[in-house]
Amino acid sequence: MFRGPRDYSKLDLKQFGGHKDELIFTGAVKSVCIAPDSKTLASGSYDKTVRVWRMNDGEALHVLEGHTKSVEVVVYSADSSKLCSGSWDRTAILWDVQNGYLLKVFEGHENLVQSIAFSHNGFFLATGSWDFTVRLWTIGSPDGVDKVKVLEGHRGNVHAVAFSKDGMLASGSWDRSVKLWNPRTGKLIHSLTGHEGWVQALAFSNDGIYLASASDDDTVRVWDVVTGACIKVLEGQTDIAQHCAFTPGGALVASGAAGMTLSLT
């Protein structure tokens, strides 16, 4: 069911400012993410920094410096204690949210890091890059040693990565495909094809049964994770679909120039 524009006039809106660039005075904000516990908000900018804000009053808590080029993506861990940022400098950086400490720099990609996802158990971190690969980092190893698997198979920039709650990993690419991986083995489970445009976003349903992929071909496809079959194609309502997400109740929400909500139950 399509839902029309929401009236935002009665909401208490806050403005978070502070990103700056040496040449243009204000650094373009490239990515924003709200912590799962809703206590903080993080923003990554062209000015090479990540800023962390307190949600209830808008106070700036940390300015995180470490990247040498524009920050393209920021993502929180499931428990809201960590933050990871990806940059044009080809690295991802893991930060401690409470004190703003730099915990780890992940190096190895040969092009910019465009997408990042934490596994729900905090054991894995996935980074997708314009080098056509996904790197899967083991960050919760009992022996304290970080390990990495390089997942190859895409033939275009990896623009989206996502974990299901039971641990499956999905990656979406500008090669118009979606791939499902077993993160513990690094093995490819399914290669999902059908989109005619770049895959821009991915989302698993809460029960892990379905995967949604949003594409700039003006469609959202819903896939059966077990079989790899496309069970539904949503088209004609999203106008270059850029985002998709499942609600706790199982409805799929997608947005582009227009928005829509669909119940899969």
pLDDT for res 177: 97
Number of residues that this document lists for the chain: 265
- The domain of 208 spans 29-236
Q: In this structure, is residue 11 part of a structural domain? A: no
Helices and strands (DSSP H and E) totals, the chain: 0, 23
Q: In this structure, is residue 232 part of a structural domain? A: yes
pLDDT for res 9: 47
pLDDT for res 16: 56
Nearest CA to 225 out of 263, 259, 178 is that of: 178
Please indicate whether residue 133 or residue 257 has the higher confidence score (pLDDT): 133
For tokens 């698997």, name the residue. Answer: 149
Q: In this structure, is residue 247 part of a structural domain? A: no
The count of domains in the chain is: 1
Give long-range contacts, CB 8 A cutoff, 24+ apart: 105-112.
Answer: 105/66, 106/135, 106/137, 106/148, 108/135, 108/148, 108/150, 109/133, 109/135, 111/157, 112/69, 112/72, 112/86, 112/87, 112/88
pLDDT for res 235: 76
pLDDT for res 101: 96
Please indicate whether residue 250 or residue 133 has the higher confidence score (pLDDT): 133
Strand order of the β-sheet with 199-204 is 199-204, 210-215, 219-224, 230-235
Q: Which residues, in sequence order, are CB contacts of 90 under 8 Å at separation 6+?
A: 107, 109, 110, 111, 112, 113, 129
Q: In this structure, is residue 1 part of a structural domain? A: no
217: pLDDT strictly greater than 80: yes
CATH code of residue 150: 2.130.10.10
The per-residue pLDDT for range 242-255, each reduced to its tens digit, is: 788 898 888 877 76
The per-residue pLDDT for range 86-119, each reduced to its tens digit, is: 999 999 999 999 999 999 999 999 999 999 999 9
pTM of the model: 0.85
Q: In this structure, is residue 263 part of a structural domain? A: no
118: its two tokens: 């934490």
pLDDT bracket for residue 151 (50, 70, 90): very high
CA distance 132 to 48: 23
Q: In this structure, is residue 250 part of a structural domain? A: no
Q: In this structure, is residue 92 part of a structural domain? A: yes
249: its two tokens: 């109740």
CA distance 155 to 132: 6
CA distance 240 to 225: 24
The whole-angstrom distance between residue 251's C-alpha and the CA centroid of its chain comes to 19
Give long-range contacts, CB 8 A cutoff, 24+ apart: 20-27.
Answer: 20/47, 21/45, 21/46, 21/47
10 Å CB burial of residue 227 (0-12, 13-18, 19+) is: exposed
Q: In this structure, is residue 9 part of a structural domain? A: no
